[in-house]
Amino acid sequence: MSGAFRTTALLFSMLALLLGGCPQVALDTGPRIPGSEQTGSSFFQTASTGSSGDAAATGRSTPADTAVSGVGQQGGSNSSACLIPLDEDAWEAEVLRLTNLERTSRGLQPLSWHAGLATQADAYACEMINDDFFGHVNPLSGSTLRTRAESASYQYWMIGENLAGGQTSPSQAVQEWMNSPSHRENILNPAYTELGVGVRLGGDYRIYWVQEFGRPLQAGPFNADGGGTRGG
């Protein structure tokens, strides 16, 4: 069985905050449900000017037939729909490792793992599954990366988000992001210092991946080569 994937990227530069987690129960699932080719977008906004811009990103993948044997259940508006992989920690750590490999191979500093950003990423993956949408804005609640952050506790100078759906491994997810200019920009942005990763099972794309990038408030604005503040 062949399938396709979806990715989308988001970048914000402002002040903000973060969310909480849920229990696990071991379950078995059937084979992956294929999605269809989709288009993602990149959004940029600065705190000082409020200016914004969008860049299109699209991609396709044809993963091999896959069955996930062990998952856990996470609550939500439809708690049976969102499942936690039992290898969650290994998958999320591998996304961090591969992301840092892309950065360090280009002379950039590696990102540090941030548990709060990871909690936000996991929660948003579940939100997309439970509310049956894919994108940076929840069409039911109207929540955005900015409003979700404002309700939490991670204070930042800059935050960004990459989303993907349908990829069957961390390496495939990171490679597809790197193949898309808008997602690649988030991964290789030198201003970011921290990363949280989320992965959840369910919904149309069967596997949902989320990267939440951050530059904390205490790090101050980013200055490249002694120049001005960088917003994204």
Tens-digit pLDDT profile for residues 165-192: 999 999 999 999 999 999 999 999 999 9
| Spatial CA neighbour of 59 closest among 6, 132, 117 | 6
Q: How confident is the model at residue 71 (pLDDT cuts 50, 70, 90)?
A: very low
Q: How confident is the model at residue 156 (pLDDT cuts 50, 70, 90)?
A: confident
Q: Which residues contact 73 (CB under 8 A, 6 or more apart)?
A: 23, 24, 25, 27, 79, 80, 82, 83, 84
Q: How confident is the model at residue 126 (pLDDT cuts 50, 70, 90)?
A: very high
Number of C-beta neighbours around residue 107 at 10 A: 7
| 161's tokens | 């988000």
CATH number of 8-29+40-59+68-224: 3.40.33.10
Task: DSSP letter for 218, please.
Answer: G
Q: How confident is the model at residue 106 (pLDDT cuts 50, 70, 90)?
A: very high
Which tops the pLDDT comparison, 230 or 149? 149
Contact 73, 83 (CB under 8 A): yes
- What is residue 9's three-state secondary structure? strand
Amino acid at 32: R
pLDDT at 217 over 70: yes
